Structure 1
Amino acid sequence: MNGQSGDGHDTTDGMERWRFQRLPTADGGRLRLGFWPAPSMPRGSVLLLPGRCETLEKYAEQAADWTRRGFATVGLDWRGQGGSSRFLPNAHKGHVSDFDLYLDDLAAALPVLLPAGTPRPAVAFGHSMGGHILLRFLAERPHPFAAAVACAPMLGIRTAPLPEPLARMVAAAMVRRGLGEHYALGQTDWLPADPPFAGNPLTSDPARFLVGHVAYRDDPELALGGVTWGWLDAAFRSMRRLWRDARVASLTLPVLVLSAGGDRIVLSARQQAFATRLPQGRVRVYPGAQHELMMEVDSIRDRVWADIDAFMAETLPAPAEVPAEVPAPTAA
């Protein structure tokens, strides 16, 4: 299951190093929580919050990078994707009725992922949909984080050829007609054939482009397809709620917003505008980069990591030394 990026870097090795735990939810579902082998002398902890359609297996390379920097690394699969329970009989449909469910799940998972005694300070890293949920959670809920990184956060979705207001109206209308659990226009089940790299809107790196697909192929129960009208309507409503939330202007923790200049999935200009509302917000833009900044070619990814490192050095205590790795806790 090894792969080499365009820069010669191994992209898939180590997926099996995640150790998983199942957490029941109050409504009868389950969350899959992940624990990466921790450094022996951590300088802190980081929580990884994936984007839509992602699973923690895709974050193995990033988890190893955080560990080398001295962070105990944990994460979760959002409900409706990865190894967590699904909302619909067709497990390929990316569906949720309300993003508040994601916030509730994160609140339930935090005491298990970052219990008392976990190395502090704690940092949160959220990508795309995960970045959006993270920003809402920081504004709305109690949290343990000393700093946060929002990577290409979903603050506006590219809806071409429809204008965004029309797409929002159509999604809401389809939900009102009782079609919320149906696929949105053009969305389908996951297909096992390798997707074409040419013209993809995610990354410039051909090996990293396939990391998530390889995880699905190796374990089809993780696979996820496109979104439903209900998910799309819930996403629009959640983004509008975040933009209108006055509590954003009162956030006191440092937040680094990473923005892909060539993003064709979400609206990078919205990310830059949102960062100006954060009292301790910083924004870094990577011209020409595609949506998945942490899955980009090394020439871009290295710049992203340099900015994260500088942000951590500015906002967190300096580590005493670079620690070695030790085994992760035994999975339940």
Structure 2
Amino acid sequence: MTGAAPFHADLAEGPEGGHAVWLRTHDGVRIRLGIWPAGPKGRVLIFPGRTEYIEKYGRVAQDLAQAGYGSVAVDWRGQGLADRLTPDPMLGHVGRFSDYQHDVAAVLAHLDAAEPGMPRFLLAHSMGGCIGLRALVDGRIAPRAAAFSAPMWGIRFSPGMRQIARLMSGAARLTGRGQQYTPSTRSESHILATPFADNFLTGDEAAYAWMQAHLHKVPALGLGGPGLHWLGLAIAEGRALEGAPLPDLPVLCLLGSRESIVDPAAIHRLAARWPSARLQMLNGAAHELLMEQKALRDAALQSVLDLFDSAA
């Protein structure tokens, strides 16, 4: 199923002609796909992170368009304007982590029908990096190149907390409490609940205010903390990907020195065993590498464009 979906062009600040459509996945979930006009070099598939939404990548799409690339971005199930899967719409939850691959399949089916033969590239951030890597490993997508921004190939925990988190999430699922928020998180969006000085996403105050303005204007785009069930699934998927066979294509992994959400060690380990991958560290950058201070953002974006141009 496809049909016109709401799209907040004023918030996105993306290329002219941007719009959104509804897609229905194989298992019956309605997701939203944001589409900006195709470019002469091909189409970039933007896989956002957890809590994110199409409009947040409008500025990135604008930069890609100026470099000759069209973009699409997806609202994953359970976030953005896609179907929320629990009575509490602010809870991050999926039944199985592999369910995200149904979303990937729906996006690809739509693009295959709309623009067959279009060269494709992958730009995946955080949780989108985990979903994107699984799609690559399983052969679901075959882009010419893939760029990963702070990919969630593991979740960062304080020493001793990883096993506790795994046990806690397992116990919650067994006792029917998997839809409880993980400790230290809540139903309110982190971006709205946290002042800039205490945030761990970006060092760019203007970019942070821009993201806050999105959620003030369209509260339905917001998402709170993850449930314990989701946490257990995410930990298990990261462990599974650590030993997965890796495809041979040009790959860039971007990681900030101030990363505090995903596990830097997991990224280093996976990049080290991926012969075609290059890991680039950005000194002073936090988690949102493409929404960081201008010099850091420009460096990250230029590396992505260099990768794509070399593959195109």
TM-score (norm 2): 0.90
2:69 and 2:12 mapped to 1: Cα distance? 20
CA gap 1:275/1:161 in 2 versus in 1, 3 angstroms: closer
1:176 and 1:211 mapped to 2: Cα distance? 40
Q: Equivalent residue for 2:285? A: 289
1:222-237 equivalences in 2 (<5 Å)? 222-237=221-236
2:212 and 2:111 mapped to 1: Cα distance? 26
1:256 aligns with 2:252: yes
After TM superposition, give the deviation of residue 15 of structure 1 in Å: 8.8
After TM superposition, give the deviation of residue 161 of structure 1 in Å: 6.5
Q: Deviations over 1:94-137 (max 9, x none)?
A: 11121100012211221213546356321011000001110111
1:268 aligns with 2:264: yes
Q: Equivalent residue for 2:104? A: 106
1:258 and 1:66 mapped to 2: Cα distance? 17
Give the fraction of aligned pairs with identical amino acids, expressed as a percent. Answer: 37
Q: Deviations over 1:201-233 (max 9, x none)?
A: 100001111333322221122221111001101
CA contact (8 A) 1:15 1:58 kept: no
Q: Equivalent residue for 2:29? A: 29
Q: Equivalent residue for 2:240? A: 241
1:16 and 1:82 mapped to 2: Cα distance? 21
Q: Equivalent residue for 1:177? A: 175
Gaps of 5+ in 2: 1-10
Q: Equivalent residue for 2:297? A: 301
After TM superposition, give the deviation of residue 260 of structure 1 in Å: 1.1
1:278 aligns with 2:274: yes
Bigger fraction of residues in helix: 2
- Give the 3-state SS of the residue equivalent to 2:144 in structure 1: strand
Gaps of 5+ in 1: 1-10, 317-332
The amino acid that maps onto 1:265 is: I
1:161 and 1:93 mapped to 2: Cα distance? 26
CA gap 1:114/1:203 in 2 versus in 1, 3 angstroms: farther
CA gap 1:141/1:211 in 2 versus in 1, 3 angstroms: farther
The amino acid that maps onto 1:25 is: T
CA gap 1:285/1:115 in 2 versus in 1, 3 angstroms: farther
After TM superposition, give the deviation of residue 162 of structure 1 in Å: 4.8
Q: Deviations over 1:214-265 (max 9, x none)?
A: 22221122221111001101101111111122x22xx111111111111011
After TM superposition, give the deviation of residue 193 of structure 1 in Å: 5.1
Q: Which has the higher contact order (CA 8 A, sep 6+)?
A: 1
After TM superposition, give the deviation of residue 160 of structure 1 in Å: 2.6
Q: Equivalent residue for 1:216? A: 215
- Give the 3-state SS of the residue equivalent to 2:145 in structure 1: strand
Q: Equivalent residue for 1:201? A: 200
- Give the 3-state SS of the residue equivalent to 1:32 in structure 2: strand
CA gap 1:257/1:307 in 2 versus in 1, 3 angstroms: same
CA contact (8 A) 1:43 1:119 kept: no
TM-score (norm 1): 0.85
CA contact (8 A) 1:15 1:57 kept: no
Match among 298, 310, 314 for residue 310 of structure 2: 314
CA gap 1:158/1:243 in 2 versus in 1, 3 angstroms: same
1:12 and 1:206 mapped to 2: Cα distance? 18
1:263 and 1:193 mapped to 2: Cα distance? 20
